[in-house]
Amino acid sequence: MTRLVLLLCLLFAGALAPAAWAAPLQDKPAGICTKCKNVGRLWCTEHEKSVEEREFIDEDELQFCSFIADCPVCSGTGWILCPQCKPPEIAEALEKKKALIEKHRITLKYIDEKMKRPIKKGESAHFVVTWDLEKLKVDKKFISQHQALHLYAHRLEQLFTDYCATLQVKQTEFSQKCRVLVWYLPSDQDFASTVFCDINGHGGVKLMGLNPTYSLCGNKQHFQSDERLHRNIVHNVVHLLMSAQGPPAWIGNQKYGWADEGLAHWFTDRYWNLCDTYCFQEQNTNVDFKSGKFKLAVRKMVAANEQPAIAEIFQMTSDQLTLPMNAVSMSYVDYLIFKDPPKFLQLVKKFKAKVVARDALQQVYEMSLLDLESQWKAWVLATYPKI
């Protein structure tokens, strides 16, 4: 099992299922319902019929899933009430889910209208996801479009939980859900990036702030593996989350690019020990710096005293950062989160208020730029790998 899976399993054990059906019924008289084993509901067999086909699919985690929304049997819930025991609390929960599905059917209709065709999509607690890739290879086997939609919605919810827990962000600080729009055809990406992000682009394109959106072409031409696609989406959704949390504003187009880009790299390093996504005006997925091994590269630069100057880095926007600056930016964020994660969030809020970076650093961490550089270099040499 990979380091990523182990980490996420530890972070997110225990999931998002509604309380009404999170466990078998506890208040029923002794005896087991032979039909549902006291769960109170049955999987709707109008959809995936085998256990293998249902892998990654958790209809409770999605508030709306277009793949089953029109099902005449379950009305899009993915479940039917057990016809034998018919528990009223499960019946009530299913009716509430049906009402929620109808609500989202209306609120998500604009996506189909803008794209001028029905789009496969889902909505979870904190994300709206479109998924246009018909199949995806995950862990050496191909999964269906339906499975992939659920898998990525689940991964995004895991990221959201980790982001909030790490920086101690309150979920109420996000006024809008992030949209992640994954297309197969470059022509769809060109069109979608224009209508949803207000800028055209063949690569990934983001809209920051109040309506956080990331639109990208996810086919094999751009991403050779599920892991590479996943890592790219994690990196860019971290940008969305930072820009969307209150007060909503993007700091990457100001002279705070190191913090904006550094945190996005920090999360991919956290999960994969690898950073291979860069945010220039239009993303180039072929850009590489030291095979993405930022910590090793940073230690070598610091040991040779060849790292970019902190005063220069603190003057850059996100798309002005050079490749070595990207690596050092991640490391600055790594050190500041190591020192005090909530203070990093305070620092970001100072940046959103357009406080000069050196002043904000002094106010929040009580360090000058020279203090930060000196302490950071000593920490890197003491903690980062040599090989």
User: Worst-scoring range by mean pLDDT, 19-33, 218-232, 235-249, 287-301?
Assistant: 19-33
Question: Do 300 and 195 share a domain, yes or no?
Answer: no
Cis amide leading into 247 (omega within 30): yes
pLDDT at 4 over 80: no
Question: Do 232 and 170 share a domain, yes or no?
Answer: yes
pLDDT tens digits, residue range 104-161? 999 999 999 999 999 999 999 999 999 999 999 999 999 999 999 999 999 999 999 9
85: domain range? 35-107
For the segment 257-279, the average pLDDT, to the nearest whole number, is 95
Question: Do 374 and 284 share a domain, yes or no?
Answer: yes
Question: Do 98 and 140 share a domain, yes or no?
Answer: no
Domain boundary pick from 221, 250, 279: 250
What pLDDT is recorded for position 49? 80
Q: Is residue 15 part of a domain?
A: no
Between 324 and 291, name the one with better pLDDT. 324
Using the structure block, give the residue that is written with the tokens 């208020």: 353
**Dihedral pair phi/psi, residue 42, rounded to 5°:** -130, 145
Dihedral angle, C-alpha 220, 225, 226, 227, nearest 10 °: -140
Q: In the chain, where does DSSP find H-type helix?
A: 3-12, 51-54, 88-107, 109-115, 145-167, 186-197, 226-244, 257-272, 294-303, 310-313, 323-339, 341-352, 357-365, 369-383
Q: Is residue 51 part of a domain?
A: yes
What pLDDT is recorded for position 280? 58
Contact yes or no for 97/20 (Cβ under 8 A)? no
State the DSSP string of 245-257: SSSP---TTTTTH
DSSP tag of 39:
S
Residue 81, CB half-sphere, CA atoms under 13 Å: how many? 16
Contact yes or no for 226/218 (Cβ under 8 A)? no
Question: Do 49 and 152 share a domain, yes or no?
Answer: no
- d(CA 10, CA 261) in angstroms, rounded, equals 26
Q: Is residue 93 part of a domain?
A: yes
DSSP tag of 385:
-
- d(CA 182, CA 304) in angstroms, rounded, equals 42
Q: Is residue 294 part of a domain?
A: yes
What pLDDT is recorded for position 29? 53
User: Worst-scoring range by mean pLDDT, 9-18, 52-61, 296-305?
Assistant: 9-18
Q: Is residue 4 part of a domain?
A: no
Task: Count how many domains the chain has.
Answer: 3
In degrees, rounded to 5, the angle at the alpha carbon of residue 54 between the alpha carbons of residues 51 and 59 is: 135
Question: Do 188 and 70 share a domain, yes or no?
Answer: no
pLDDT tens digits, residue range 324-365? 999 999 999 999 999 999 999 999 999 999 999 999 999 999
Question: Do 84 and 133 share a domain, yes or no?
Answer: no
DSSP tag of 69:
T
DSSP tag of 35:
T
Query: pTM here?
Result: 0.90
What pLDDT is recorded for position 267? 98
Question: Do 127 and 207 share a domain, yes or no?
Answer: yes
Q: What is the mean pLDDT of the chain?
A: 91
- d(CA 279, CA 320) in angstroms, rounded, equals 9
What pLDDT is recorded for position 168? 94
Question: Do 223 and 131 share a domain, yes or no?
Answer: yes
pLDDT tens digits, residue range 13-53? 333 344 444 444 445 455 899 999 999 999 998 988 888 88
Domain boundary pick from 62, 79, 107: 107
Residue 3 confidence class, pLDDT cut points 50, 70, 90? very low
pLDDT at 285 over 80: no
Domain boundary pick from 55, 82, 107: 107
pLDDT at 258 over 90: yes
Question: Do 127 and 246 share a domain, yes or no?
Answer: yes
